[in-house]
Structure 1
C-alpha cells in the first residue's frame, strides 16, 4: 500500500472566497498538512482589497485560518502536524 504525503481538500460548501481554492490546493501539497476544510462565508463591514489568509487560533489537531477578500470572510480549518510558524511560512509562500 503506497502512502500519499498529499493532504486532502474537503468540498463541503458550494461557494468559496474568490482565489482561495487554488491557494488551498497548493497547501495540500505541503508535507504535514492532512486535511483542509473551508467553512461558511460571512460578510463584514471593512473592505480587504486583496486576498489575506491568516492563522487565527489552534484547534484540536491543527489551526483555524481566516481568509478575507473584499467584504467577505471565510473560516478555513487545517488539520496538520505543522507548527503555527511553519504553516504561516507555507501560506506566505503561496499568497
Structure 2
C-alpha cells in the first residue's frame, strides 16, 4: 500500500471540487434539489397510502421516509426564504 503525500491528496481533492463547481451553476443545483424534494414527497405519499391500507412490513422505514420528506421540504422552504430575503436586500440598495 502506497501512502501519498498529504499535499498531493489535498491538491487532488481541490481539483475535483473545482471541476464540479465549473460543471454546474446555482440554478442546476437548485433544480436538482427541488427534484430530490419532489421525489421525497412522492415517496412519503406512497408510504402514507401503505399505512392507511395496512400494508405495512416495516413501519420504521415508512416513518423514516415520511420524516425525511418533511425535513427536506422545510429545508427547501428555508432556502427559498433566505433567497427572497437576499433579493429584497439587494432591491433596497441605493444606486
- For Structure 1 versus Structure 2, the TM-score category normalised by the shorter chain is under 0.3
Judging by fraction of residues, say which structure has more helix.
Answer: 2
Judging by fraction of residues, say which structure has more strand.
Answer: 1
Q: Which has the larger radius of gyration?
A: 2
TM (normalized to structure 2)?
A: 0.20
**More RCO (CA 8 Å, sep 6+):** 1
TM (normalized to structure 1)?
A: 0.20
